[in-house]
Amino acid sequence: MTISNTRPRRGRPPKTERGFEDTREALLRQGMVVLTEQVFSSTGLDSILKAVGVPKGSFYHYFPSKEAFGLAVLERYDAYFAAKLDYHLLDDRFTPLQRLRHFADDARAGMEKHGFRRGCLAGNLGQEVSVLPESFRERIGAVFTNWQRRVEALLEEARDNGTLTADADCAALAEYFWIGWEGAVMRARLTANDAPLELFVERFIAGLPQTR
Amino acid sequence: MTISNTRPRRGRPPKTERGFEDTREALLRQGMVVLTEQVFSSTGLDSILKAVGVPKGSFYHYFPSKEAFGLAVLERYDAYFAAKLDYHLLDDRFTPLQRLRHFADDARAGMEKHGFRRGCLAGNLGQEVSVLPESFRERIGAVFTNWQRRVEALLEEARDNGTLTADADCAALAEYFWIGWEGAVMRARLTANDAPLELFVERFIAGLPQTR
């Protein structure tokens, strides 16, 4: 991939042989790794640049600001996570509530793989919102709305097939799920095991307005 | 209150006219204010000392380390919050589930009073646990256990009076409550309104295994 001349640039050109888009992609991926684990406001860009092999000082070649980088990482994480949700929640070989469990199992395995050090990037940024630029508040909210809509559609399917009662408020239940799920991810980081995730999803399903 | 000679001290003596215990107490109180809002690992002690009027450099007169200060602030917050819980959850003029709502209403008012900038100190520290001294993990877990036991006792009362089914697992439900409640506090900071807290407590109560 060649470096486009149409993009505005600042700073030194990169010394790496990767193209512009490849390097930008590597920075976003490293950003996802770091920001699922660390606090954005106290994360230095240097460590991210170093991990990717991009010389200090050429960051602004790829992103206009740290804020723009953070928002781009969040956008990338949103897309990654929405795809993970779709993979499980749209798998109609299983019942809707089984699919929700499969998503939870996947998330549990993912947290375990990284020793429960990594949490949810949107949840982490949400905790910092009072010290971040105001642009983050709306964007993080939109990410949760995006994920909630997917769970809402799943619960509507469960309502329409008679698993949930006809008066189940699927939008409110989906929001309730994500509010609590973020708490469960937080607690799993604290306990360094998957028990909070398992407890949460089990009790959430048990508390749904089911017809049987 | 006079300064005891039996305590080991380091650093310069304080220039304030307050006694040792009063100053230490003021530092703990300011620590609670700051750590409900900010990230501990990136909080400088200087701003806390300045707010309390304690000269820089005399911090170690009061606490052996930043770690010891953080743990002491957490302990104080635990006691403060347990008292708030008892105030509502032991008020037997109301039914157990009404009391849980009263606690939630109190917490909502508290967050609103501070413009939804302040969250839960234990939850905040829990998010940072991977970068804090290992001593924090156990202590934060113990704080949640302390609060959960109070909700567990409340739910047992509801089970024993026939509101909840006889087979209700009150310990698991109490843990589920706190896992989700921390998520709700987090979301309320993000949305800067009390809707997530209200939604969470309403759905939690609706999802309880009730007899009617």
Least confident range of B93-107, B126-140, B168-182: B126-140
pLDDT digits 0-9 by tens, A103-117: 999 999 999 999 999
Please, is B65 exposed, middle or buried when counting C-beta atoms within 10 Å of its C-beta (0-12, 13-18, 19+)? exposed
Q: Which residues of A touch B141 (CB under 8 A)?
A: 190-191
pLDDT digits 0-9 by tens, B77-126: 999 999 999 999 999 999 999 999 999 999 999 999 999 999 999 999 99
Average predicted confidence (pLDDT) for chain B: 91
Q: Which residues of B touch A186 (CB under 8 A)?
A: 123, 126-127, 182-183, 186
Q: Does residue B209 belong to the interface with chain A, where contact is any CB pair within 8 Å? A: yes
Query: Would you tell me which residues 156-185 of chain B have a C-beta closer than 8 angstroms to some C-beta of chain A?
Result: 172-173, 175-176, 178-184
- The nearest alpha carbon in chain B to A43 belongs to B42
Residue B14 pLDDT > 70: no
**pLDDT band (50, 70, 90) for residue A17:** low
Rounded to an integer, the average pLDDT of B186-204 is 97
Query: Would you tell me which residues 87-116 of chain B have a C-beta closer than 8 angstroms to some C-beta of chain A?
Result: none
Q: Does residue B193 belong to the interface with chain A, where contact is any CB pair within 8 Å? A: no
Q: How far is CA A173 from CA A21, A158, A183, in A?
A: 40, 12, 15
What secondary structure letter does DSSP report for B210? B
Residue A163 lies in a domain: yes
Contacts of B76 (CB under 8 A, 6+ apart): B28, B29, B31, B32
Residue B25 lies in a domain: yes
Report the CATH number that the domain containing residue A111 is assigned in CATH.
Answer: 1.10.357.10
pLDDT at position B127: 86
Residue B96 lies in a domain: yes
Q: How far is CA B26 from CA B43, B60, B73, B94, B95, in A?
A: 17, 15, 11, 36, 37
CB atoms within 10 A of CB A90: 12
Q: Does residue A152 belong to the interface with chain B, where contact is any CB pair within 8 Å? A: no
Residue B7 pLDDT > 80: no
Rg of chain A's alpha carbons, rounded to an integer?
20
Residue B79 lies in a domain: yes
Residue in B131, B179, B190 closest to A129 by CB: B190
Residue B2 pLDDT > 70: no
Average predicted confidence (pLDDT) for chain A: 91
Determine whether the interchain pair B184/A186 forms a contact, defined as Cβ–Cβ distance below 8 Å.
no
Alpha helices in chain A (DSSP H): 20-37, 45-52, 59-62, 66-89, 96-113, 121-127, 135-160, 170-191, 195-206
Are A109 and A44 in contact by the 8 Å Cβ rule? The answer is no
**pLDDT band (50, 70, 90) for residue A3:** very low
Where b means 16+ CB within 10 Å and e means fewer, B138-154 reads ebbbebbeebbebbbeb
Which domain range does residue A107 map to? 20-207
Residue B13 lies in a domain: no
**pLDDT band (50, 70, 90) for residue A15:** low
Residue B4 pLDDT > 50: no
Q: Which residues of B touch A129 (CB under 8 A)?
A: 189-190
Least confident range of A16-20, A57-61, A175-179, B126-130: A16-20
Rounded to an integer, the average pLDDT of B22-49 is 91
**Nearest CA of chain B to the CA of A85: how many Å?**
19
Residue A6 lies in a domain: no
**pLDDT band (50, 70, 90) for residue A131:** confident
The whole model's pTM is what? Answer: 0.89
Rounded to an integer, the average pLDDT of B196-212 is 96
**Nearest CA of chain B to the CA of A92: how many Å?**
26
Residue A8 pLDDT > 70: no
Helix axes B135-160, B170-191, angle to 10 degrees: 120
Residue in B126, B175, B184 closest to A189 by CB: B126
**pLDDT band (50, 70, 90) for residue A143:** very high
pLDDT at position B3: 36
A122: β partners: none
Rounded to an integer, the average pLDDT of A174-179 is 98
Total domains in chain A come to: 1
Least confident range of A39-53, B80-94, B173-187, B189-203: A39-53
pLDDT at position B182: 97
Residue A70 lies in a domain: yes
Residue B13 pLDDT > 60: no
Are A11 and A59 in contact by the 8 Å Cβ rule? The answer is yes
Rounded to an integer, the average pLDDT of A16-23 is 82
A210: β partners: A164
User: Which has more confidence, A13 or A37?
Assistant: A37
Residue B140 lies in a domain: yes
pLDDT at position A13: 57
Q: How many residues does chain A have?
A: 212
Are B30 and B77 in contact by the 8 Å Cβ rule? The answer is no
Q: Which residues of B touch A196 (CB under 8 A)?
A: 175, 179
pLDDT at position B56: 82
Residue B8 pLDDT > 90: no
Determine whether the interchain pair A191/B130 forms a contact, defined as Cβ–Cβ distance below 8 Å.
no
The percent of residues above 70 in pLDDT, for chain B, comes to 92
